[in-house]
Amino acid sequence: MPNKYSIVNIITHFVIKLNTNFFYKIYFYLLSTGNKGAIFCLHRIVPRDGFSKWNQFIELTPTQLEKLIISLQKMDVVFVNLQTVHLLLTQKQTSNKRFVHFSLDDGYEDNYQYAFPIFRKYAIPFSVFVSTDFIDTPNPFIWWYSIEEIVNNELEFDLSDYGVVITKEDYLRSSKEAIFLQLKNLFLNHVDSNRGYFQYKTNSLFIQHQLTAPTMLNWVQLIEMHQSGICEIGAHTHTHARFSNIDMHTKELEVNKNKQIIESHTGIACRFFAYPYGHYTDIVNWQESESVMKKCGIDLALTTIPSLLTSSSSLVQMPRVFLNEMSNSYTLLTRISGVYQKNTQWDI
């Protein structure tokens, strides 16, 4: 006899196959979870031939983004900007439909080149959360892509201050992916306490071997997107700092500098924030982080934790769900309904 999990899976696939607004309404009604909608987390929108090897979980093709938008248009949802999300969650505005919002983190130029035309074509509101140290910078320190490029080219990498030295022999003994993951863990845990060291070591190899990393947005592009009326610009710390690595004073400095630079270029108040990395282990001290958000004048702060988004959700601990190239109608429906968030043990 099928259990309730398999029954929900069967219903979900059946509704997607029917693919009509009427049955989506019934689906949301029958599988009521209290979820008000979904804030989707994206990063890079790039053609398939531009995909990386080990950062693909944050990459999505323009074709797939457009397919997801078309799928969403057939569901019983409303596309909203973050200002409306705030109004809906504070009950200053109501809606009888679940809402959807697209957010993009970091500030990659492909957001302007590929995502912006698609969102504009369908009049879909979206937001871009930028780490201002990346913007209009000739050699931005996007370390997760930098170390991938270093490893992919099998370069020796001396980080002996932290007990790590990657040699040619290491590439013979270990897989490139294993070396990448070793470096990723090192950078993730230590880069914020000694940024100059890691940046110098990385940039030296980039210059010596003429390596390339993703191009980031410039202020002309950001302002054009904002002036279109469909794009909101949010804060993401100045240096993409991981909150669990820095003290409260540094958190305030990172957020305030980030906000001030955005506001000086755009002339608008920056009231939205996305935590870099954004999961439990990347934030840790929730009480301290909430205090920082309030001190810095943030109305909504977004995580990457895929929990239910309800009227009782903290405005400075907002859940988001990832979309990438593997996402499809099933992904969208289970995330918007809250079925996935409520039952994360399901393989859906």
Q: Which contacts qualify for 146-150: CB closer than 8 Å, 24 or more apart?
A: 146/202, 146/206, 146/211, 146/213, 147/180, 147/183, 147/184, 147/187, 147/202, 148/52, 148/53, 148/54, 148/55, 148/180, 149/206, 149/211, 149/212, 149/213, 150/183, 150/202, 150/205, 150/211
Over residues 43-57, the mean pLDDT reads 96
Residue 5: its pLDDT value, please? 64
**32 to 59, 322, 337: CA distances (angstroms):** 31, 21, 7
The residue count for the chain: 348
* 3 state DSSP class of 113: helix
Q: Write down the H helix ranges in the chain.
A: 4-18, 21-30, 62-73, 82-89, 110, 116-121, 143-152, 168-173, 176-190, 195-209, 219-227, 248-266, 280-283, 286-295, 329-337, 339-342
Residue 91: its pLDDT value, please? 81
Where in the chain is CATH 3.20.20.370? 4-137+215-342
Q: Return the percentage of the chain with pLDDT > 70, whole number.
A: 97
The string of pLDDT tens digits covering residues 168-185 is 999 999 999 999 999 999
Residue 34: its pLDDT value, please? 86
pTM of this structure: 0.94
Fold observed for domain 4-137+215-342 = TIM Barrel (3.20.20)
Tokens of 4: 């309730």
Over residues 232-237, the mean pLDDT reads 98
Taking a C-beta distance cutoff of 8 angstroms, is the pair 207, 182 a contact?
A: no
Note the maximum CA span of the chain: 64
- Residue whose C-alpha is closest to residue 225's, from 51, 321, 81: 81
Residue 2: its pLDDT value, please? 54
